[in-house]
Amino acid sequence: MRTAAAMMRILLRHLFARPASMASMASMASNDAGPASMASSDADASMASNDDDLLFPPEPDPQKAATDDALQPHPGDWTSYSDDQRLSAPRGAVFETRLAASAALRELGNERYRGDDVDGARVAYARSLWQAHFDEAWVKLELTDDHRGQLFDVTVPANLNCARCLLKTANTSEAKGHVDAALSALDDVSTTEQRRAWRAKGLLLRATCLREAGRYADAAAALDEASELTDDAAVARARHALRQARRDARSGERAMMRGKIAPPPPPEKRTCAVS
């Protein structure tokens, strides 16, 4: 009898415990659904917030703002255009048209530079580079070696000439950016006599930028590399300018230290009292 009663009590406990267990499971299920839906809504809100953060107005493009779409893109149609109209001509849809326009605007920059209009020359060089600007990935992956060479034969001298203008206005950092772009482009094409001359010119300009920035060792290294490409007197002049800049820097440091370290005070005068 005791065994039967004990078994009955155990059975009753299980029967009464089952609804509680099922209720607990239902509660857990509802709790799982709750946080999941909250997490989903939070994620949606976060994504919406990020989307709002990305909706910044695009930065103004001065080259696009200066473009007159009513003009013709090919320089062959520019014979009656003024210089301002040439600088406002739109980009063409054909690769060769854009290269021709870029070359024509670079020549306009050269004319202005020879006339001592440095600011006007820089504007023309910048527009020349804009005409010949293509997506970097497209240039590296889609263009053939010949077409890439044609492109860089237009952009390299424009970058170097633009850097020269910027150096005349003491804009060293931006000038170095143009020089680096030109030298990087020359690394991606085969060497010709003209490209060798451009590389030497680029290294001389890089040395000037580094010298102006106080990086004398790097400037000397650039001049050493340039001297392997040309024996032009410009290398000798650049070395002289670098030596002078180093002397001036050392003189300035000595003058600064003299101002910071005061001379020692005169020795104290002592008198002996004889009693």
- Per-residue pLDDT tens digits for 56-84: 777 888 999 999 999 999 999 999 999 99
Q: Note every long-range contact of 244-247, with CB atoms under 8 Å and residues 24 or more positions apart, other chains counting.
A: 245/211, 245/216, 246/216
Average pLDDT of the residues in 147-166: 97
Number of helices and strands (H, E) in the chain?
Answer: 11, 0
Domains parsed from the chain with CATH numbers? 62-256 (1.25.40.10)
Q: How many CB atoms lie within 10 A of CB 241?
A: 16
Q: What is the pLDDT of residue 249?
A: 87
Q: What is the pLDDT of residue 256?
A: 67
Residue 26 pLDDT exceeds 50: no
Q: Note every long-range contact of 17-22, with CB atoms under 8 Å and residues 24 or more positions apart, other chains counting.
A: none
What is the model's pTM?
0.72
Residue 125 pLDDT exceeds 70: yes
User: Which phi and psi angles does 20 have, rounded to 5°?
Assistant: -65, -40
pLDDT-derived band at 187 (thresholds 50, 70, 90) equals very high
